[in-house]
Structure 1
Amino acid sequence: MYFMKTIKPLLLLVLGHFIMNAATAQSVAINTDGSAADATAILDVKSTSKGMLIPRMTTAQRTGIATPATGLLVFDTDTNAFWYYNGTGWTKLDMAGNNWSTTGNSGTTIGTNFIGTTDDIPFTVKVNNQVAGYVSSTVNPGRNNTSWGYLGLGQNTTGRKNVAIGSQALMANTTGQNNTALGYQALMSVTTGNGNTAFGSQALFYNLSAGNTAIGVQSLFTNTNGYNNVGVGISSMALSTSGSYNTGIGGNSLISLTTGVDNTGIGYGADVSSGALTNATAIGCTAIVDASNKVRIGNSAVTVIEGQVPFTTPSDGRFKYNIKEDVKGLDFILQLRPVTYQFDVQRFDASMKGDANNMAHPVNNVLQTSYNEAAAIRRTGFIAQEVEQAAIKTGYDFSGINKPKNAADHYSLSYESFVVPLVKAVQEQNKQIEELKKTITMQQKALEELTTRLEKLEQQ
């Protein structure tokens, strides 16, 4: 009783001291040496032989605290660790020294130490509070997505199985699936398109559709609605917007294509003369095809197209119909004027691009030599315009003339087509010869009869 009577005045004295300090907004010091509290601390606890205990509770008790204040600190007796509330959730204070240092770490163990998550929450890296790295597992959200680069896959919501490597790669993707982008701003604009592959800075930059493959800087750069295109090489098909099923392999291949479909360009600068061609094929360095449903092999500097076997044309009678024997022979052949000539191959290639001063490929010394050699060849053939007039004059619908489709197009001849009227001419000549032979035979017989009669007259 004496102890209780003695301690009560002391407790009242201490409580009064705290109340007065709080009332005067002074710092509070708890120590054994009587020193004043540090001016920057509201509470200064000092001891060389004792510690300080903060509230201890179970995990259930900790998580059961209603609306905890940011910075609230407790000791969890279930996890045997300190926890603090960061404003949105409880965070464990790792006192075992397992935090990764910003200046590097040593003594790590393969298979034990790692940066990442231990649950199915995606691992995220941020720069300027924006996504700069993202790896997810097979569960939602973001199944099997991987990105590395500032804003890469930054807008993704339910898109799956996407890979974005590079700053702003697949940046706008939201629900698109199975897209792969490698390079600065590769596939940057796609939102819902599926199955696209872009390797190279700004490859498929504006693409919104599906099934395209672009390899090379700005390959398929402006493609928006075109699908199932393949562009390989720097700026291959760079101006295509809505064309589909096109293939360009080589730097600047099919670079003039815009809306055309089913076109193929293989070789540096292999291109079409018009952006809307269909089923046109250009093969070879700077080969230019100028019409739909046409194949062009090589530029005009090419002097030989060689193959081990001849070209053939399907000629199965089961597929031919409306057959007529109206081929012109001698009448047509006799109208033709065989000539020898030289061809301005360099000017012709320039004209295919619509500008005689704008070559598709820089004319270096090697190419210029090839042009000179090709132009020096003395060629044998016909002039297409004259062949056209011969066909008109004889009423012959000759398939060997490829007429211009427009003012920028040119004439061309299929020399193999001349075989048919030549065969017809030979047949007509043979018929004439056979008739002449019959006439000669008859004349010989008549002459023999006349000779016999003369001989008899002489005998008489």
Structure 2
Amino acid sequence: MTTAQRIAIASPAEGLMVFDNDEGSFFYFDGTVWVELEGSVTRDNYKLVKSAADLADELAAGGGTEYLFTTDFMYEINGTITLAAPINLNGAYLVGEDTNEDILVRVGGTIFEGDTGGSIRGLTLVASGPGAAVFNLTGSTGTERFVFRDSVVANSTSVGTISSYGLVFISIVQYVSNAAGITFDDIHQLLLNSEGWASDNTGIYQTFTGDFDIIAKQGGFSKVVGATAAIDITGVSALTSGNISNVNFYGGGNYVNGSSPYTGYDFSNKWDVDSPGIPVETDGVASGNFYFNGTLTTGFSQFISNGTPVEVQGTGGFDAPRLFRFIASEGNNKLTYDGIKPRKISSKCIDVYSCR
């Protein structure tokens, strides 16, 4: 009944309970006044989803080929939902209360597709079967925002791809028994926090390609045993700033497929890397050396006096091995600092033939 009809009830019995359609809530009469039943109010822009049938309106809105969610709507998943089509988040919020109980499943297809942003929290996601993937998201303007947190991705054919977003923030997500990882492509700001990649994942856990402003991967772990690699940055074409810190790489497998101008290292000078299991690569540990590899007794043509600066010359050649964020030039006889951050540089000559 309406609010007006409820109020118009003549001499309601004490304890009488009615549902007020205008208020969207139950009321009972306490003998004197009508009292709204505590806990009966549901929030606006909210839908509880206990089966795929509860998303019939969204499937119709998506033309039968996708579940088109309503922008700024909250969808709460309760139980295991097997999807017949992908979800287009369309700026909606998708939540669960318990990753052990609240599960989205898609067999032979993608769970999330579309070109808009949105938020996912508190769910387990499973995309199994040929061609299946959890994500296939490509932003339409490059400004979209996507947040994924407090969730589990398990037993999936592929975690998938996220491309051309303004912001992607993934936090406290566990990856278990997935056959292939995720590719991030052309993300303006990519923030990865406290992710856990178990050793039963295969393929490359995380691949980065294209242009990025910021890549920040902090905390969590990657246990690599049979997988191809934990991360692959060989496809990064442009980066303003990259950071990998306090991520525990272990398990004995291949941790990084890298691309670095410095022999024996994986990252360019755009990165600050300080995590257990992989070499520290920051400007703070930049180093380099050069040495004369000619005949010591006849190779030098100039006199070197103590305290007088002079270019080291010789009829032989110079080698400059073990360079990290230094560049050798002028016949390997000159070292130039190649880091981004200003730092103090100290030098030492072991003898007149070898300096660093």
Q: TM-score, normalised by structure 2?
A: 0.34
The structure richer in strand per residue is 2
* Structure showing greater relative contact order (alpha-carbon pairs closer than 8 Å, 6 or more residues apart): 2
The structure richer in helix per residue is 1
